[in-house]
Amino acid sequence: MISVMTIMRGQNDPLDDFLRRTVGVDGVEKTVYVAGSGPGVVIMPEMPGISPDVVRFARWVRDAGFCVYLPSLFGVDGAYPLAEAGEAVVRRACVSAEFRAFAGGGTSPVAAWLRGLARLAHAECGGPGVGAVGLCFTGNFALTMALEPAVVAPVVNHPSLPLDDPGGLEISDEDAAAVAERVARDGLKVLAYRFEDDRWCTGQRFAAYRALLGEAFDGRVIQAGTASTNPPPFFRDVVGCAHSVVTAHLVDQDGHPTVQARNEIIAFLAERLGTQPE
């Protein structure tokens, strides 16, 4: 799987191989970048936005035979993650009415908008359903999106919310019960990844997912020492640990554990959505 575009480290990504659309759900409009053909997969950005590494991952999924929907939720689209600018994005998101960054806040309201995007993707792409891939700040959104019946392949990558509770889940009690019921009823599997020693996504958090979902939760842990030692400044100076398995801390070498994780995610999407990865 080789991307058709190569963006050098430190450069912004123009996203000019994606169709830029304005999508409205329940009266709220957001920019969504769409590319590819096949079953739909919603890929949500990590902090501080749709970075070149996030777009690289989206291209890998697209090139494997899926139609990718990449919504703009925060930050500057395509921007290389710099430390000071990234911190400003995090501060704005933490006080935004769309997100519940801290314990006790329940489910982030933006999850309802994302479920609407999943319905749209399914209507446009057909097939048995759509995939939902969350990353970091949006990691748990892939799980709460499973309240939408169209979502049949949720992937939870290094979920960081709530920021102030390492063993907490960014979801209301009511939604948690509904998700657990839907997972059990429909036989869903939830694939998840984190680095060991990740202070933003801890073993306690994965244990909380397992307590909620049981054997349906497939949480996989990668050794921290395998992470890229040359991530963008935001991840080096602000995140400060191995965190972003398939984006900023991925090492693009055949056989590397992070590349294996990427391939496993694509294989999971293919299995659940009824395709064969290219």
Tokens of 94: 């933490």
**What's the longest Cα–Cα distance across the chain?**
46
Within 8 A by CB and 6+ apart from 70, the residues are 18, 32, 33, 34, 35, 42, 43, 44, 45, 50, 54, 55, 58
Tokens of 111: 């999850």
Q: What's the order of all strands across the beta sheet hosting 40-43?
A: 19-25, 28-36, 67-71, 40-43, 130-135, 151-157, 190-195, 217-222
**Summary mean pLDDT of the chain:** 94
Q: What is the pLDDT of residue 2?
A: 39
Q: What is the pLDDT of residue 9?
A: 74
Summarize pLDDT for 42-76 with one digit per residue, the tens: 999 999 999 999 999 999 999 999 999 999 999 99
Tokens of 119: 């319905």
Within 8 A by CB and 6+ apart from 109, the residues are 97, 98, 99, 100
Where does the pLDDT of residue 276 fall: very low under 50, low under 70, confident under 90, or very high at 90 and above?
A: low
Sign of CA dihedral 234, 236, 239, 243: positive
Q: What is the pLDDT of residue 271?
A: 96
Alpha carbons within 13 angstroms on the beta-carbon side of residue 253 total 7
